[in-house]
């Protein structure tokens, strides 16, 4: 079974430029997450989708970040314009949430490492 | 304020010995705890979890212990193998955080090095 796919793996841009990251979750997974991981830190949730609905975007800086999951499958995270402080790894994860709170395994993709110069 | 704390940034252990990774949390609403393992240039992978109704969960060489009164959990790896060398993240979630009920709060991670 294919895992979570993310592209690109690495991206270098100059500040004030736009950038977009793409994620394809594990087939059949209804919930998709975007995380930000700064160097030396753990992942921090940016946004969570249940199917095509963003059910938790409280941590997404909406002035410059946007995300979409139009058909409830793959998703795109965009930054416009990028700032120096946006340099980080952007992780996508997915899970199959069937209402059973006892099991909440999230499967992570390899991430996109963004460097803003 | 960090709600999940891993106070040891790194740990070195001899192959065959026990590795003990520690995690403390401050939010008493957390009711489910997970450990993730991360190799360089890869995403975190799920390792083991424990519900707050238990105090121990074991899976092969990996055991997680939960002390709710101390708000502390630990991951034991016995015996440690060189392939266990990775960054280990402790994470916690709560059923009571409303729209974020599936939100995982991660610690900063502990880098484990198992020396052959």
Residue B96 has pLDDT above 80, yes or no: no
User: Is the Cβ of B1 closer than 8 Å to some Cβ of chain A?
Assistant: no
Phi, psi of A33, rounded to the nearest 5 degrees: -130, 145
Closest by alpha carbon to B94, among A33, A101, A96? A101
Q: Residue A99's Cα: distance from chain center in Å?
A: 22
pLDDT value of position A104: 63
Taking an 8 Å cut-off on Cβ atoms, the answer to whether B46 and A107 are in contact is yes
Contacts of A108 in chain B (CB under 8 A): 36, 43-45
Determine the Cα–Cα distance for residues A88 and B78; give it in Å rounded to an integer: 33
**Which residues of chain B lie closer than 8 angstroms to A95, CB-CB?**
102
Nearest to B4 by CA among B113, B111, B109: B109
Q: How confident is the model at residue B99 (pLDDT cuts 50, 70, 90)?
A: very low
pLDDT tens-digit readout, B22-77: 999 999 989 889 999 999 989 999 999 999 999 999 999 999 999 999 999 999 99
* Cβ(A78)–Cβ(A19) below 8 Å: yes
DSSP codes of every residue in chain A:
----EEE-SEEEE-TT--EEEEEE--TT--EEEEEEE-TTS--EEEEEEETTEEEE-TTS-TTTEEEE-TTSS-EEEEESS--GGG-EEEEEEEE---S-TT----EE---EEEEE-
| Cα A89–Cα A40–Cα A2 angle in degrees, nearest 5 | 40
pLDDT in tens, A38-87: 999 999 999 999 899 998 888 899 999 999 998 889 999 999 999 999 99
Q: Which residue has the tokens 């266990």?
A: B84
């Amino acid at each position: 079974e294919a895992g979570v796919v993310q592209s690109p793996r690495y991206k270098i841009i100059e500040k004030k430029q736009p950038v977009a990251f793409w994620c394809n979750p594990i087939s059949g997974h209804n919930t998709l997450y975007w995380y930000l991981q700064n160097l030396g830190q753990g992942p921090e949730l940016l946004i969570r989708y249940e199917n095509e609905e963003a059910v938790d975007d409280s941590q997404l800086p909406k002035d410059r970040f946007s995300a979409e999951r139009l058909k409830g499958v793959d998703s795109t995270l965009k930054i416009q314009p990028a700032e120096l402080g946006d340099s980080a790894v952007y992780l996508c994860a997915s899970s199959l949430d069937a209402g059973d709170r006892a099991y909440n395994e999230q499967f992570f993709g390899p991430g996109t490492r963004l460097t803003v110069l | 304020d960090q709600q999940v704390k891993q106070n040891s940034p790194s740990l070195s252990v001899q192959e065959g010995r026990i590795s003990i990774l520690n995690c403390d949390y401050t939010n008493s609403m957390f009711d489910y705890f997970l450990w993730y393992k991360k190799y360089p240039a890869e995403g975190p992978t799920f390792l083991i979890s424990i519900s707050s109704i238990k105090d121990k969960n074991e899976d092969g060489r990996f055991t997680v212990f939960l002390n709710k009164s101390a708000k502390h959990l630990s991951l034991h790896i016995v015996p440690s193998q060189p392939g266990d060398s990775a960054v280990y993240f402790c994470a916690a979630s709560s059923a009571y955080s409303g729209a974020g009920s599936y939100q995982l709060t991660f610690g900063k991670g502990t880098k484990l090095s198992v020396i052959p």
